[in-house]
Amino acid sequence: MKTTYLTVLSLVAIIFISATIALAASAQSNGNNKVRVIAHTDKEVSDALAKGCNVVRETRTLKALICSESVASSLGLQEDIKVFAMDSGANTQIRADLVQSSGNNGDGRKVVVIDTGYNYDHQELSSSYLGGKDFVNDDNDPFDDNGHGSHVAGIITADGVDAKAKGVAPLTGIIAGKVLDSSGSGYFSDVVAAIYWAVDGEDGVAGDVCITDNSTGETTCTNDDFNADAISMSLGTSQPYTYKGFCDSVLPDLTNAIKYSRDRNVIVVVAAGNSGGAGVSIPGCISYSTTVGAVDSADKIARFSGKGNAVDISAPGVNIFSSWLNNEYKTASGTSMATPMVSGTVALVKFAHPEYTVDQIESALFNTAKDLGKSGKDTSYGWGRVDAYGAVNFAS
């Protein structure tokens, strides 16, 4: 048997501060509050200085001054607008913000994230932890020692302590299966085991397990299935294990595990990989996966996004801000980041339609995706860029 490593798909992790304009919160107006304003001419500056303002920033075309509100107002000086570091505005891009403001934050839904683990001590993630398993170290503590899994989980469910990091479905719970080690790599056999565990729970059986006591004749049943809405997998093989077509026959155990999950109504959302035109990585290229490519904030396919017939849909995956190790945050790019955007959207769809089957979820996602690139489904965008608001409100 060939050795096939699966690795995290966040190959491009960049610190990126995108300055974007937002309105400064205005203080209560009593005329004595200090405000920061902009002056462009020497006269504006001298008038302001004469009235007690101070210059705090001098640059080529302007000066910024701190003045009392009444002085700023009397001089007609323009407010110095605040800028904030933020991510690509992905929640706005996929219209998850509209779903959230309608009262749907994925409350009570569950997603299993199979990755490097989960930082349940992070301020963005602690409220959403529902337990997990570590397949690397064979214990019940899937604490993240890499950061990637916590970044992915945050894209689904970060509470928005830092508003820029708020997840797609901030009230959705996460069950974590750790299959990738501190360096971000792992074995496909652990992924197979984690998928069955994600569906069956710890007892390894789907549905009720009943035991009859021989002496009393009494039967007791237990059921530890997670009944999750989705399995989210931001992992995959690297070249040469990338495919322009489907790859169901390459690792049949993995194909069967994903089919098993899908047959039990747990959608398996998988990254398309970061090999661009070389194809889609395993397990994204498996036909039973719901496979996600990455677009940037302008809905353009990312150059690294794996292309092939297996791509079903795409989502923002460039410069995404989310939780990391300790209480840190990080901006990262990859189909790893696009995948949880779709998994979080599944949680929102299931909050609105708990009865939906995997086929109905896909129908809602695919029919409402914003068609991009070549008309109709294509090998870059799949059906298009996910639209959470459209999917939640899609009438099947």
Which residues are annotated as catalytic?
Answer: 115, 148, 336
Residue 253 binds to Ca ion (criterion: CB under 5 A): no
Question: What distances in angstroms separate CA 71 from CA 42, 57, 67, 354, one per listed residue?
Answer: 17, 18, 6, 57
In this chain, which of 44, 134, 190, 225 binds Ca ion, going by CB under 5 A? 225
Binding mask 195-214 for Ca ion (x = CB under 5 A): -----xx-x-x---------
- Between 237 and 343, CB nearer to Ca ion: 343
DSSP 162-224: SGGG--SSTT-EEEEEE-S-TTSEEEHHHHHHHHHHHHHTTTT-SS-EEEE-TTT--EEEE--
Residue 378 binds to Ca ion (criterion: CB under 5 A): yes
Minimum CB–partner distance for residue 157 and Ca ion (Å): 4
Residue 371 binds to Ca ion (criterion: CB under 5 A): yes
Q: Which stretch binds Ca ion (CB under 5 A): 31-39, 150-158, 242-250, 301-309?
A: 150-158
Reference 196, options 185, 206, 208; nearest CA is 206
Which pair of tokens denotes residue 55? 């210059």
Q: Which stretch binds Ca ion (CB under 5 A): 43-51, 219-227, 231-239, 279-287?
A: 219-227
- Between 234 and 322, CB nearer to Ca ion: 322
290 DSSP β-pair partners: 269
Give per-residue burial for 170-192: e unless 16+ CB within 10 Å, then b: bbbbbbbbbbbbeebbbbbebbb
Contacts (CB under 5 A) with Ca ion, residues 273-302: none
In this chain, which of 80, 134, 145, 159 binds Ca ion, going by CB under 5 A? 159
Q: Which stretch binds Ca ion (CB under 5 A): 47-55, 143-151, 158-166, 334-342?
A: 158-166
Minimum CB–partner distance for residue 200 and Ca ion (Å): 5
Angle between helices 335-352 and 358-368 (to 10 degrees): 110
Reference 18, options 67, 89, 66; nearest CA is 89
CA 230 to chain centre: 13
- Between 241 and 394, CB nearer to Ca ion: 394
Minimum CB–partner distance for residue 125 and Ca ion (Å): 7
Reference 142, options 124, 116, 121; nearest CA is 116
Residue 173 binds to Ca ion (criterion: CB under 5 A): no
Q: 171 with 103: CB under 8 angstroms?
A: no
Binding mask 80-119 for Ca ion (x = CB under 5 A): ----------------------------------------
- Between 172 and 238, CB nearer to Ca ion: 172
Residue 27 binds to Ca ion (criterion: CB under 5 A): no
In this chain, which of 146, 157, 237, 309 binds Ca ion, going by CB under 5 A? 157
Could you tell me which residues come within 8 angstroms of residue 233 by beta carbon, excluding any fewer than 6 positions away?
114, 115, 191, 268, 269, 270, 271, 283, 289, 339
Residues in the site for Ca ion, rule: CB under 5 A? 128, 157, 159, 170, 200-201, 203, 205, 224-225, 371, 373-374, 378
